[in-house]
Amino acid sequence: MKNRRILLTVLVSVVMIALTAVGPASTHGQTPKKLQIGFITSMTGFGSHQMKSFPQGAELCADWLNGKGGINIKGQTYQVEIVVQDDKGTAEGAASAANRLVNEDGIKFIVGGIPVFGVIAINSITEPAKIIHVSLWNNTMPDEFGPKTPYTFLTHISTLGGMESALDWLKEKYPNVKNVVGIMVDDGAAPTIGQLVSNQLQKRGLSLKGDLVRWPPDTVDFSPIATKAIQRKADAICWLNGWTEGLFIKAVRDQGYKGLIMSTTFTEPAITMEMAGKPASTDWFANGIVAGAPQNPPMVQMVEKMAQAKYPPVRNYQFEMFQAVWSLTQAIQSAQSLDTTAVKNAWEKMDAFETVFGPGGMGGEKTFGIKHAIVYPAALYGLENGQIKFLKWQKVTIP
What residues does each domain of the chain span?
A: 33-136+298-356, 160-294+381-394
SS3 315: coil
- Least-confidence region, from 129-138, 185-194, 384-393: 185-194
Rounded-to-integer distance, Cα 153 and Cα 105, Å: 21
Burial class (CB in 10 A: 0-12, 13-18, 19+), 54: buried
pLDDT band at 13 (very low <50, low <70, confident <90, very high): very low
Rounded-to-integer distance, Cα 355 and Cα 376, Å: 7
- Least-confidence region, from 29-38, 105-114, 175-184, 387-396: 29-38
Question: Whole-model pTM?
Answer: 0.90
SS3 356: coil
Q: Give yes or no for a contact between 77 and 343, defined as CB atoms under 8 angstroms apart.
A: no
- What's the pLDDT score for residue 29? 57
What mean pLDDT value characterizes the chain? 92
pLDDT band at 81 (very low <50, low <70, confident <90, very high): very high
Q: Same topology for domains 33-136+298-356 and 160-294+381-394, yes or no?
A: yes
Residues 6 or more apart in contact with residue 260 via CB below 8 angstroms: 174, 177, 235, 236, 237, 283, 284
Rounded-to-integer distance, Cα 321 and Cα 116, Å: 18
At the fourth CATH level, which superfamily is domain 33-136+298-356?
Response regulator (3.40.50.2300)
CA distances from 230 to 212, 241, 304 (A): 13, 18, 38
- pLDDT(25) > 60: no
- Residues 292-315, mean pLDDT to the nearest whole number: 97
Q: Give yes or no for a contact between 154 and 138, defined as CB atoms under 8 angstroms apart.
A: yes
- What's the pLDDT score for residue 6? 40
Geometric angle at alpha carbon 253, from 250 and 257, rounded to 5°: 150
Q: Which fold has domain 160-294+381-394?
A: Rossmann fold (3.40.50)
pLDDT band at 117 (very low <50, low <70, confident <90, very high): very high
φ/ψ of 277, rounded to 5, equals 85, 145
SS3 362: strand
